[in-house]
Structure 1
Amino acid sequence: MKIQFFGATKTVTGSCFLLKAENHSILIDCGLFQEDEKEYLNYEPFTFNPKKIDLMILTHAHLDHSALIPKLVREGLRCKIITTPATKDLLEIMLFDALKVQKNENYKKPLYDEENIYKALKQIETLPYQRTLKFNEIQITLFDAGHILGAATVQLNINGKKVVFSGDIGRSSYPILRDPETPEEADWLVLESTYGNRVHKSLDESINELVQAIKDTFQKGGNVIIPAFAVGRTQDLLYILNKTVRQGLLQPVNVYLDSPLAEEATKIYLSHPELFDDEALREMKNSNRLSIKLHFVKTVEESKKLNSIKSNAVIIAGSGMCQGGRIVYHLYHNIDREECSIIFAGFQAKGTLGRKIVDGEKEVSILGKMLPVRAKVYTIGGFSAHADRDELLKWLQSIKTKPEIFLVHGEAEVIEAFKNSIEEKFGFPCRIPERLSVYEI
C-alpha cells in the first residue's frame, strides 16, 4: 500500500490524501487551500488523475476538506463519494456558497460551475456512523468525529490491516454534538494536529470571558463583532449565547446573524437531532422560544443597514478567517472604534486577515484601506471545535494497537511539538509529511 499527501502538510488547509491499496485508488478529502501564500494551488492542475480515482471518502463539509470536489468532477472524477448523511446535506449549501464567493472575486476565474456541483452531489452515497460498507476487498467504517455535524473519522480495513484518517477531531463535553469516537484499532493513522501544542481554556471559562466581553463592550457603547465559520462555530455560539441569557448571565441581547449560509446550516443542524448530545436534546425539548433577540440578515441591503448600528449589537458573520464575506465590511466599520470588540472563536491560519489581527498588528488593510486596530481583540480558544493537545492525546489513548502516525493539518512548529508529545507519552512512531510525499505502508 502507498499513501500520498497533497495538502494539509505543515499547514491547516487543503486536506487531500490518496491511498493506493489492492489495485484501487481511494481519495480522502479534497479541500481548499485558504492561506494567502498557498491559494494559487487551488488553481493548479491536480498532480494525480481524477479519472483514475476508484472511490472518494469525505470526512466533513468544511471547505478546507471539500471545496475542490466539483473541480475533481470537472476534471473527470466519476466514482462514488462516500460521506455521512448530514455531511451531504451541508455540502450542498456550502459548495454553492463557495462558488458564489468565487464569482464575486472578479480577478479570478471560478474553479468550477453549477453543473460540476450537481454532478458531484449525484455521486454521493451516504454511510451512517458505525455501519460498514464493503468496497471490493476493503471495508469502510465511519466514526463520529464530533467536530461539526456529520464529521467523520474514517477506518479502512484492508486484509486485516487498518488505515485510519482522523479527519478533524472535536471536543469532549462540548455543546450540541456527541463526544468524538475513537476507532479501537489502527495500524496507520493520519492525524490532525491543529491545536497539538496547546490546551484550550475550559468551556466555562470561555463562556465567562464571552459574557464579560459583551458586557464591557456594551458599557463602552460599542458593538461586538464575531467572525465565525458558518457551519459549526456559528451554531455553537448561538446555542451558548441563548443559554447564557436564559440562565440570567446576560440581558437579552440583539444578535445579528449576517450569513445566509449560516442560517441554512442552522436549519440543517436542527434537522439532525439524532446526532445531538443529551444536553442539547433537553434544551430543544424544554425551550420553545429563543432567549436572545436573534435577527437573520438576509440581503446585502440589510447587511449594509447594520453599519448604522453603533452600539449594543452582537454581529456574527463569515468568513471565519476574515478572508472574504460580510465580516470584512463589519470590520471595516468597527475595527478603528476603541469602544468596539472583535472576538475570535476559531483558528486563524497564517496569512489571513484574522491572523494578522490576532497577532496584534496595529494597522490592517481592509477593502483596500489601511485601518488602525483600535477595537479590543479577544481570542477565546475554548470555543474551538478542534480538540486541543490533551484531548487529542486522550483520543489516541483509546487506540489499543500501536499505529504509525502521519501528522497533518497543523502549522510546522505545532506539528513538531505534537510529535514530541506523542512519542514521549506513547512511543508511537510519528512522521511529518511534506506536500506530494509518498510513503509505503
Structure 2
Amino acid sequence: MIVYSCHGAAKEVTGSCHLVRCGARSVLVDCGLFQGGRERERANAEPFEFDPAGIDALLLTHAHLDHCGRIPRLVREGFRGRIHATAATRDLARVVLLDAAGLQEEEARRAARSGRDGAAPLYTLDDALHSFDFFAEPVGYGVPVAVAEGIRATFRDAGHILGSASILLELEDGGTSLRVVFSGDLGSPGRPILRDPQPAPQAEYVAMETTYGNRTHRSLPDSVDELYRAVEQTLGRGGNVVIPTFAMERAQEVLYYLHRGLREGRVPAGAQVFLDSPMAISATEIFRRHPECFDEAFRATLARDDPFGMPNLRFTRETADSMAINRIEGGAIILAGSGMCDGGRVRHHLRHNLWREKSSIVFVGYAASGTLARRIIDGAKTVRLFDDDVRVRAQLWTINGFSAHADQAGLLDWLGDAPRREVLLVHGDYEVGMRAMAECLRQRGVPCRMPGKGEPILLK
C-alpha cells in the first residue's frame, strides 16, 4: 500500500512537509518551518503528526527555511535516516539552519529577560550542527538514488534557487508500482543566473506548488526597468532605497541587475550599494562555488565580469557596520533580510527610512499573509518596529516580476499535457493561488485535489 499525506503547506504557503509511506518504508519530502506571524510560528512547536524515528529518509528540495527549517527538530526527536540533497542545497542549508538556530536562541534569551513565556528555542545551535551528521553524499541532477527499500528518487533542476530540485519518486510495494513527482518550488524561466526548470516527467501523481497559481508575473524586462526607475527617482531626490531581500537567489539576482544598471548608466555611478545580510553574503560565496547550477550564459558572464564585485558594493557582516549604514541619509541602496521583514537587519533600515518621504521601500519578493511586508504593502499607515510606532511615508514599490516562483502559466508549462491520475495542490494561499489553479486544471480536465493537513491519500 502506498499512502501520501501532507503535513505542512496544506492549503497554506509555508511549512512544506510531505510523507510517503510505501509498504513498511516511509520517506519525507522537506521538513520546513511555518512562517507568517506568531500564530503560524507557534505551529512549529506542535508535535509531528508522525513518528520521526519511523522515517527512513528525508529528501530536501531546496534550502529555503520553509522547506528545511524543522530538520534539527526532526533529528532531535528521533530521526536517524539519511538526508538527500544536491551539493548546493546542502551547503546553503547549513547556513540557513545555523542562522535560524542562532536567531531562535537570541529570541529565547530576549523572552527570558522580559519574563515572557515560551522562552525555550525550537532548537539550538547544537541541534542544528548535529543534524548535518545525517546528510548523505550529495545527489546529482538526473541520477536515480535508492533511498529506501522499494523507493528510488531522481532530483531534477527546479530553477528556483541554487541547487533547488523537483523530485521524482519511483515506488514499488508488492504488485504496485507508481511514480510521484514533487515539484518543490519552481522557478520562472528566463532568469539570468539559473537554468530554466526541467518539465515534470511522466508520473501518475504530481504534488505541485501553487504560490502564484492565480496570476501572471509582470515581464522581467519591465520589472528591471521599474527597479531602475525606483533607484533613479529615489537617489535623485536624496533618499535611500531599502530592498527587503531573501538571502538566496533574490539578493544575487538584484545585485546582478544593479551591476548591469551601473554599466548601462541606469544606476547612478555614485550610488553606495550595501548587502547587509550575513546569510546573503555567505550565500553569495556559496554561489561562487557551484557554477554547475548556473545558466550557460551566466557562466560566460562570470568569466569576464563579476556581477558580485561591482564598484561601491560593500558586504556588511559586522553589526557595527550595519548600524553605520543608518547614518547615511541619501544615496544608499540597501539590500537586507529578511524578505518578509519579520526579522533580520531590514527592520532597522525600515525604522530609519520608512518614515522618510525621500526614501523608497522596494519589495521584490513574496510577502505571506500576516508578515510585516504584507502589512506595509496592503497600506498600513503605521507599523510597530522595536517598540516604536513608525509612520509609513516612504514611497512603496512592489515589483513581482522578480519572483523566484513560477506564475500560473509557468506552473502549467511545467506540468505539461501528460495524463495524470491526480494533481495534488500544495504550498499556496488556499483562497487565492490554490483555488485558482484548481479551477484552471479542472477546466482542462485534469483531476486535482487540495489535501488537508495530515489527510491520508491512498495512491493506486
TM-score range, shorter chain: over 0.9
Partners of 1:222 and 1:136 lie apart in 2 by 60
Flag the 1:377–1:133 CA change in 2: closer, same or farther, 3 A. same
Q: Which residues of 2 match residues 20-169 of structure 1 at below 5 A?
A: 20-36=21-37, 37-105=39-107, 106-107=110-111, 108-125=119-136, 126-134=138-146, 135-159=148-172, 160-169=177-186
Please give the root-mean-square deviation of Cα atoms over the aligned residues, in Å.
1.3
Q: Which residues of 2 match residues 256-405 of structure 1 at below 5 A?
A: 256-287=274-305, 290-397=309-416, 400-405=418-423
Q: Which residue of 2 aligns with 1:255?
A: 273
Partner SS for 2:275: strand
CA displacement, residues 282-303 of structure 1 (integer Å, 9 cap, x when unaligned): 2101215744421111111111
CA displacement, residues 221-251 of structure 1 (integer Å, 9 cap, x when unaligned): 1000000111111111111111121233223
Q: Which residue of 2 aligns with 1:410?
A: 428
Partners of 2:420 and 2:411 lie apart in 1 by 15
Residue 214 (str. 1) matches residue 216 (str. 2) = no
Deviation of the 1:53 alpha carbon = 0.5
Residue 198 (str. 1) matches residue 215 (str. 2) = yes
Partners of 1:423 and 1:12 lie apart in 2 by 21
Contact 1:243 1:291 in 2 (8 A): no
Partners of 1:28 and 1:184 lie apart in 2 by 17
Contact 1:166 1:191 in 2 (8 A): yes
Deviation of the 1:163 alpha carbon = 0.7
CA displacement, residues 311-368 of structure 1 (integer Å, 9 cap, x when unaligned): 0100011111000110000000100011110011100000000000011111111112
Contact 1:343 1:379 in 2 (8 A): yes
Letter of the structure 1 residue corresponding to residue 125 of structure 2: E
Q: Which residue of 1 aligns with 2:191?
A: 174
Contact 2:426 2:450 in 1 (8 A): yes
Partner SS for 1:308: coil
Moved over 6 A (4+): none
CA displacement, residues 89-109 of structure 1 (integer Å, 9 cap, x when unaligned): 111111100011112212232
Partner SS for 1:302: helix
Contact 2:186 2:197 in 1 (8 A): yes
Partners of 1:404 and 1:239 lie apart in 2 by 39
Letter of the structure 2 residue corresponding to residue 114 of structure 1: L
Q: Which residue of 2 aligns with 1:2?
A: 3
CA displacement, residues 98-144 of structure 1 (integer Å, 9 cap, x when unaligned): 01111221223211223322222121112111000123222210000
Q: Which residue of 1 aligns with 2:451?
A: 433
Partners of 1:13 and 1:147 lie apart in 2 by 16
Contact 2:232 2:266 in 1 (8 A): no
Residues 99-108 or 192-201, more deviating: 99-108
Letter of the structure 1 residue corresponding to residue 7 of structure 2: F
CA displacement, residues 127-169 of structure 1 (integer Å, 9 cap, x when unaligned): 1110001232222100000000010101001134101110000
Letter of the structure 1 residue corresponding to residue 369 of structure 2: K
Partner SS for 2:409: helix
Deviation of the 1:182 alpha carbon = 1.9
Partners of 1:281 and 1:244 lie apart in 2 by 19
Contact 2:12 2:430 in 1 (8 A): yes
Count the aligned residue pairs: 439
Contact 1:321 1:354 in 2 (8 A): yes
Partners of 2:192 and 2:279 lie apart in 1 by 21
Identity %: 43
CA displacement, residues 34-78 of structure 1 (integer Å, 9 cap, x when unaligned): 112211111112121101111111110000000100000110100
Contact 1:246 1:291 in 2 (8 A): no
Partner SS for 2:8: coil
Deviation of the 1:396 alpha carbon = 1.0
List gaps (5 residues or longer) in structure 2.
112-118
Letter of the structure 2 residue corresponding to residue 7 of structure 1: G
Letter of the structure 2 residue corresponding to residue 16 of structure 1: C
CA displacement, residues 167-189 of structure 1 (integer Å, 9 cap, x when unaligned): 00001011100000123211111
Which residue of the other structure, out of 160, 184, 195, is the alignment partner of 2:201?
184
